[in-house]
């Protein structure tokens, strides 16, 4: 049986091992912070959209309503009969 000679240089130093472990931990922390911030940004953007929509509705329905702000998709839809009448008149 022979002895196995291990070179000390083949072992990583404790500093390198600690740095690798620290980088893994920091990567996990950074990932969690990113997800938390992403969630907060999404929530904030939804709150802003809700606030803007409430303000728009208030302008449209309040005492000084601005009806010119109604958009085309907010106009009443044609009934099936109206649609049929319009398509027949174009023939």
- pTM, entire model: 0.44
Please say if the pLDDT value at position 71 is more than 90.
no
**Model confidence pLDDT, tens digit, residues 46-64:** 999 999 998 888 888 877 6
pLDDT cut 70: percent of the chain above it: 57
Least confident among 33-42, 45-54, 68-77:
68-77
The pair phi, psi for residue 40, each rounded to 5°, is: -65, -40
Structure tokens at 7: 């070179």
> What whole-number distance in Å separates Cα of residue 62 and Cα of residue 54?
11
* ∠ Cα 40 21 32 (to 5°): 5
Would you place residue 9 in the very low, low, confident or very high pLDDT band (cuts 50, 70, 90)?
A: low
């Amino acid at each position: 049986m022979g002895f196995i000679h291990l070179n000390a240089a083949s072992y990583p130093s404790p500093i390198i091992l600690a740095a690798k472990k620290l980088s893994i931990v920091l990567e996990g922390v950074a990932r969690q912070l990113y997800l938390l911030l992403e969630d907060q940004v999404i929530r904030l953007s939804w709150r802003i959209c809700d606030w803007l929509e409430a303000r728009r509705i208030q302008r449209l329905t309040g005492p000084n309503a601005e009806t010119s702000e109604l958009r085309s998709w907010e106009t009443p839809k044609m009934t099936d009969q109206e649609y049929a009448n319009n398509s027949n008149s174009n023939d």
